[in-house]
Amino acid sequence: MALLEVNHIASGYEGVQILWGVNLKLEPGKLTTLVGSNCVGKTTLLKTVMGLLKPLDGSITFQGQDVTKLPAHARAKAGMVLVPEGRQLFTEMTVFENLEMGAFSPRSRASFKQNLEKVYELFPRLQERGRQKAGTLSGGEQQMVAVGWGLMAEPEILMLDELSLGLSPLLALNLFESLTRLKATGLTMLLVEQNVTMALAVSDYAYVLAEGKVHLEGPARELRKNDEVRRTYLGI
């Protein structure tokens, strides 16, 4: 059974509809990627799934329960965690304090020490920078903090919006390798990403969004061979 199901979701901002009947499923333990050009509704979909936007139509099911009308904080408490685009850290707080803020739910607070050790194992640099203010870090290090913050919440689903945005190719590669390691632990993830080449390389399944609708979907390895995807998104 899918861990998350998005059924015929329509959504948008201030009376402007962006999504038109989107369907999406997340299988447990899989990394699913949502790709597409700018302004096609990728971030809108993440915000709607997280409860930050109210859908105009459709439903969202998480762990077999309808969560369409649940507020964002209730979804977060249930295990849905979004790492937003642009990192959005507490820049005047230290790395450790930012990670500490991620453990907001009772269950994550109870396993704070274990989760922190896992974050430091995944990103050793964060342990070295523990007392440094987050705003003084490099872009790549800040993105590590943002992902670490999400992991500290002990998510059932980790959603990541534009993981590689503004990063050098090397730093982006390191972060994508981290996703592979997280996938090996059984964590379910939904990734929105403009670096289609890397996203499809690490993903199990992918959706291509165009004009607010799912245009293509399938196993990531098959979409990498799709002529339209290769021509439009991979430049081949």
Count Cβ atoms within 10 A of the Cβ of residue 38 and give its class: 0-12 exposed, 13-18 middle, 19 or more buried: exposed
Per-residue confidence (pLDDT) for residue 236, from 0 to 100: 55
Q: In what order do the strands lie in the sheet with 188-192?
A: 80-83, 157-161, 188-192, 31-35, 205-210, 213-219
Secondary structure (3-state) at 37: coil
Contact assessment for residue 28 and residue 3, using Cβ atoms and an 8 Å cutoff: yes
pLDDT < 70: residue spans in the chain: 234-236
Which amino acid, residue 9? I
Q: For 64, list phi and psi in degrees, rounded to 5.
A: 80, 0
What's the token pair of residue 59?
A: 């439903």
Query: Token pair 């990734």 is at which residue?
Result: 191
Per-residue confidence (pLDDT) for residue 105, from 0 to 100: 82
pTM (predicted TM-score): 0.92
Per-residue confidence (pLDDT) for residue 235, from 0 to 100: 64
In the chain, where are the structural domains located?
1-79+156-236, 85-151
d(CA 98, CA 142): 10
d(CA 79, CA 161): 17
pLDDT in tens, 149-162: 999 999 999 999 99
Q: What angle do CA 66, 186, 95 make, to 5 degrees?
A: 90
Q: In what order do the strands lie in the sheet with 57-62?
A: 16-26, 4-13, 57-62, 65-66
d(CA 73, CA 228): 39
d(CA 108, CA 79): 10
d(CA 5, CA 137): 37
What CATH architecture applies to the domain 1-79+156-236?
Answer: 3-Layer(aba) Sandwich (3.40)
Among candidate residues 94, 83, 85, the one with its CA nearest the CA of residue 137: 94
The distance from CA 46 to its chain's CA centroid, rounded to whole angstroms, is 8
Per-residue confidence (pLDDT) for residue 100, from 0 to 100: 93
| DSSP conformational letter for 174 | H
